[in-house]
Amino acid sequence: MPDAGTLCVGTLALGVSRAYRFNLNGSRLEAGERQLAIEDIRLAFGGVQALRGVTDEVRQGEIHAIIGPNGAGKTSLLNCISGLYRPQQGSIRFFDGDRDHELTKAAPSSTARWGIARTFQNIELFQHMTVLENLMLGRHVHMHHRLWRSLLFVGPAREQEIGQRELVEEVIDFLEIQAVRSKPVGSLAYGFQKRVELGRALAMQPALLLLDEPMAGMNAEEKEDMARYILDVNQLAGITVILIEHDMGVVMDISDSVSVLDFGELVASGSPDEVSQHPKVIEAYLGEAAAR
Amino acid sequence: MATATGIYHTNYRQDLALRQTRADWVRLALLVLFVVVAPFVASPYWLTILNLVGIAAIGAIGLNILTGFTGLISLGQGAFLAVGAYTSGILVARLHWPTPLAIVAAVLLTGVVGAVIGLPAVRLKGLYLAIATLAAQVMIIYLVRTWDVVTGGVDSLVVPRPEVFGTTIRSDFIWYWVILAFVVVATLAALNLFRTGLGRAFVAIRDQDIAADVIGVTVWKYKLWSFAISSGFVGLAGALLAHYRSIVTWERFTIDVSITYLAMIIVGGLGSVAGSIYGAAFMTVLPALIQRAGQAIRDVLPGLSQQLPAVQLGVFGLVIILFLIFEPRGLARIWERIRDYFRLWPFRY
């Protein structure tokens, strides 16, 4: 059970303040402490070198953007962090107070248990389940699953469902998806599905949130909404966000630090301003002539 | 009947209830009425059919947990039924265990066997898994036929009538209530399973296994759980079949049985507990009706009644094809649509 004592107060733009009972941030670190240390990651698929010795660092409480042209290895890096890919070389260490984890040899279900949540570039929701069920699945790692209790339902299983539902309802409130709560996800509009996927990740009370192109295929208004939710997640809940995004305006506006990948190599890393001035970044995006 | 404008819950407990509206309760009452009255009015022939429907329903719920809810195709249903039937039958007939204890043992053992047979599912899915379970089906039936010392081989195993509290259960009428009790328990257990996180994890694996892994569902472990739970239900159906029929022979558990059960859940509705029961009823009653029809027209069309088994297979195939084309979500969805039609009447939506 999440610690119900933590009070997290969100102040909305309208001046209405709302008190949330649950702290969605699962990290035990203080803001600014090193949370993720990626060291010399090499990943190859046969002859294709997807990542060629990437070294990077992410601190607790920041929005860290990973940018780069198509095929640069951004999603591959995210997949290494969440345990979907096993890099041939290098290490990814995930710090969580007294507990540190090595992510390169971990299964995705283990990284999830340690507090790493993610969304996918192409929405990977459970299409036939309702929004509520999808979010409840986000609570999976925080629940105890006992066969006899499940079959019996009345008693501990029901209490657990109701207890977890309270946190999930806060996430639903946070993302303003109350109206579609009991709709099957497959029937929802694309923008809503993206939001539900963010909600499922948030319901995990993550220490680190990986977002793979959360704004792909959205119009300007939807992008603004999504940017607002990401900022809220980061600033109100204090969750570290690693973000892959192609919209440079969004990246430069909301991120605290940016890493640039090109052909599997880290070409630049730093604040948005530093990165946008970096000659190698200009070369990667606009070509050699522009860099000169 | 007047309908409310919507369902307004004031707490989460209400939202989790299986029956939420008055109409739900009325339907349940009608169902209970039917179930209670049926054995008093049914002829012996139809009473037997009803009993077989009940046993098939438990088996179909089991298969639906695996195939409909977890998305793992199994062609080993017949073998799992055989494990349940032989376990319970042998324990009672040879080791003289009390029947209830033997049934419990059959459920547990079939669950374990199911988990072992499910091991390939850790790496395989889809058609490859279907082939792996087909192999299990063939192997288990082969074992049953050749392991004479234990199973009696190709000879049938005779199971004595069960004795409970000093009375022997003999008549179809008493069997009806026994089977009904098991059906109710199995149905509630399955419904409960999918109201909790364990069942949700199964559905997550069916819908999107990579995402399930990423949110922390250890996919291989839950696939094996699904096999075990599903097989437990099927084992119960097998054990009941053994005691109800009092004769166990391997011929009742061949690959045809596996296919028939798959047909049940396709026709009834994949991923629906109620659909499993509809499908079991449909697939058990249909052959009986075809047989009746065949007897009725025996004098008119003497040639046709000889072709009855062929007609039966043809109709089976036709029904499955029609369902796949017109209502892949089965009888459960058709029922939902009928319900919605009356709920919304006179409006279209």
Reply yes or no on whether the pLDDT at B5 is more than 90: no
**Chain A environment of B197 (Cβ under 8 Å):** 136-137, 139-140, 143, 145, 150, 160-161, 164
Which member of B214, B229, B271 has the closest CB to residue A147? B229
Q: Residue B155: its pLDDT value, please?
A: 84
The closest CB to that of A109, out of B218, B225, B229, belongs to: B218
Tell me what pLDDT residue B339 has: 83
Identify which of B212, B92, B82 has the alpha carbon closest to the alpha carbon of residue B147: B82
How far is A169 from B250, CA to CA, in rounded Å? Answer: 52
Q: How many angstroms separate the Cα of A283 from the Cα of each of A67, A68, A276?
A: 14, 11, 11
Query: What interface predicted TM-score (ipTM) does this complex get?
Result: 0.87
Average pLDDT estimate for A214-242: 93
The model's pLDDT over A26-42, given as tens digits with 9 standing for 90+, comes to 898 998 999 999 999 99
Cβ B342 vs Cβ B335: under 8 Å: no
For B208, which of A126, A133, A164 is closest by C-beta distance? A126
Q: Does B200 touch chain A (CB under 8 A)?
A: yes
CA distance B280 to chain A (A): 22
Domain ranges of chain A: 8-291
Confidence band for A8, pLDDT divided at 50, 70 and 90: very low
User: What is the average pLDDT score of chain B?
Assistant: 89
* Cβ-based contacts of B71 with chain A (< 8 Å): none
- Residues in A whose CB is inside 8 Å of some CB of B read 82-84, 107-109, 112-113, 117-118, 120, 124-129, 133, 136-141, 143, 145-147, 149-153, 157-158, 160-162, 164-166, 200-201, 204
Q: Decide if A63 contacts A234 (C-beta within 8 A).
A: yes
A112: left (phi over 0), alpha (psi -120 to 50) or beta: alpha
**pLDDT score of B237:** 97
Is the pLDDT score of A15 beyond 50? no
Query: Is the pLDDT assigned to residue B257 strictly greater than 70?
Result: yes
Cβ of B199 within 8 Å of Cβ of A150? The answer is yes
Size of interface A-B (CB pairs under 8 A): 117
Contact A133 B195 (CB under 8 A): no
Average pLDDT over residues B39-55: 93
B195/A contact by beta carbon, under 8 A: yes
Minimal Cα–Cα distance from B210 to chain A, Å? Answer: 8
Task: Tell me which chain A residue has its CA closest to the CA of residue B12.
Answer: A162
Taking CA–CA distances from A202, the nearest residue in chain B reads: B215
Contact A153 B196 (CB under 8 A): yes
Chain B residues in contact with A125 by the CB 8 A cut-off are 207-208, 211
* CATH class of the region B42-344: mainly alpha
List the alpha helices (DSSP H) in chain A.
74-82, 108-113, 131-138, 147-152, 156-174, 190-203, 220-235, 248-254, 272-277, 279-286, 288-291
**Higher confidence at residue A181 or residue A5?**
A181
In whole angstroms, give the CA distance from residue A67 to residue A259: 6
Q: Which residues of chain A does B200 touch, with a Cβ-Cβ cutoff of 8 Å?
A: 129, 133, 136-137, 140
Determine contact, residues B63/B130, Cβ cutoff 8 Å. Answer: no
CB contact under 8 A, B197 and A108: no
Mutation target to probe the A interface, by most A beta carbons within 10 A, among B10, B185, B215, B222 is: B215
B204 reaches A (C-beta below 8 A):
yes
Count CB-CB contacts under 10 A for residue A57.
14
Instruction: Summarize the confidence of residues B181-209 as an average pLDDT.
Output: 95
Residues near A64 by Cβ (< 8 Å), separated by ≥ 6? A58, A240, A241, A242, A243, A255, A256, A257, A258, A259
The answer to whether residue A1 scores a pLDDT higher than 50 is no
pLDDT in tens, A59-72: 999 999 999 988 89
pLDDT at B265 over 90: yes
Query: Over 80: is that where the pLDDT of A23 sits?
Result: yes
Put simply, the answer to whether A162 touches B16 (Cβ < 8 Å) is yes
| B18 phi/psi in degrees, rounded to 5 | -75, -35
Q: Residue B345: which pLDDT band, with cuts at 50, 70 and 90? A: confident
Q: What is the per-residue pLDDT for A290? A: 65
Q: Name which residue leads in pLDDT, A164 or B19.
A: A164
Residue B216, CA distances (Å) to A118, A140, B52 in order: 11, 7, 40
Q: Which CATH class is domain A8-291?
A: alpha beta
Q: What's residue A45's pLDDT?
A: 93
| Chain B residues inside the 8 Å CB shell of A187 | none
Q: What is the mean pLDDT of residues B28-55?
A: 93
Q: Which residue in the block uniquely carries the two structure tokens 């319901």?
A: A203
Residue B1: pLDDT band with limits 50, 70, 90: very low
Whether the per-residue pLDDT at A12 is higher than 70: the answer is no
Question: pLDDT tens-digit profile of A100-158?
Answer: 999 999 999 999 999 999 999 999 999 999 999 999 999 999 999 999 999 998 889 99
Residue A284 Cα, gap to closest chain B Cα (Å): 32
**CA distances from residue A153 to A23, A135, B5, B13, B190 in whole angstroms, order as listed:** 28, 20, 29, 12, 10
CB contact under 8 A, B197 and A145: yes
Test A120 with B211 for CB contact under 8 angstroms: yes
Q: Which of A126, A168, A170, A212 to mutate against chain B (most B CBs within 10 Å)?
A: A126
Q: Which residues of B touch A165 (CB under 8 A)?
A: 12, 15
Residue B268 has pLDDT above 80, yes or no: yes
Task: Reply yes or no on whether the pLDDT at A248 is more than 50.
Answer: yes
